[in-house]
Amino acid sequence: MRFLYRLKVNEKVVGTALIALGLVSLLAGFRLVEKPAQQELANHQPVHKQGVDGVSLASMGQRQACRVLNVYDGDTIGCDLDGDGKIERPQEEIRLLGIDTPERSYSRKNPTYGSANPTDEPYAKAASEWMEHQIAGKTAYLQYDLRKTDRYGRTLAFVYVSAKAQQSLNEQALVQGYATMLFLGKNRLYEDQFTQAEQQAKQAKRGLWGG
């Protein structure tokens, strides 16, 4: 009886060991199959080289969607980047890259600001109203250059009315004569294109170039 009992115990131990060994082999085989698959997937992942201010060069060609809640003037809008339904300043103030529009009376850059009778610069109101008509209350699509923010903490971007629009509102403002070209620092994307747009407005005597 004692012999049979030991035999049964040994069979139980051996059986348990075999099961454990089988599980280990199965997991090892799974990893061998999984590793090449993961390696193949990794080989197809895009490489994100870092630009300035943590903006990757790969993401610069992509566009970020946001809801436009405010239009401050012809070159600055308020866009809800985090979806909380409000504008958090200054990071959700979007300064349009490559252009400069005339200043409204409430702008500190306006020479008449703080005077007894502050007035808009010529075409300042027209530029603001044009921008409102284009994008106010709508979804904007932002494309970034090398530097994502200016010295005031505002977000710098090229603004589009759709994810696949070919021409930015920045460039359209130049073509319509509502803005002059302004590129600062390392943000030089589309500089040649914008130069042509401004020349087009000058030749056609549109807006600011009407004489």
Residue 127's pLDDT is 97
Half-sphere CA count of 187, side-chain side, radius 13 A: 25
Tell me the residue range of the domain where 188 lies: 53-209
Domain contains 46: no
Which of 131, 78, 75 has its CA nearest to residue 103? 75
- Residue at 167 is within a domain: yes
Residue 171 makes CB contacts below 8 A (sequence gap 6+) with 98, 190, 193, 194, 197
**17-73 tens-digit pLDDT:** 545 555 445 445 534 444 443 343 334 333 333 444 444 444 456 999 999 999 999
Residue at 57 is within a domain = yes
Query: Is the confidence at residue 9, as pLDDT, over 70?
Result: no
pLDDT of residue 96: 98
pLDDT digits (tens, 9 = 90+) for 138-178: 999 999 999 999 999 999 999 999 999 999 999 999 999 99
Which of residues 132 and 54 earns the better pLDDT score?
A: 132
Instruction: Look at the chain and report how many structural domains it folds into.
Output: 1
**CB of 101 within 8 A of CB of 119?**
no
CATH number for the domain that contains residue 124: 2.40.50.90
- Domain assignment present for residue 40? The answer is no
- 96 near 151, Cβ under 8 Å? no
Domain annotation covers residue 86: yes
* Nearest partner of 142 among 96, 108, 109, 175, judged by Cα: 96
pLDDT for 87-98, tens place per residue?
A: 999 999 999 999
Q: Evaluate whether residue 105 is within a structural domain.
A: yes
Please check whether residue 9 lies inside any domain of the structure: no
Domain-embedded: residue 66: yes
Q: Tell me the whole-structure pTM to 2 decimals.
A: 0.72
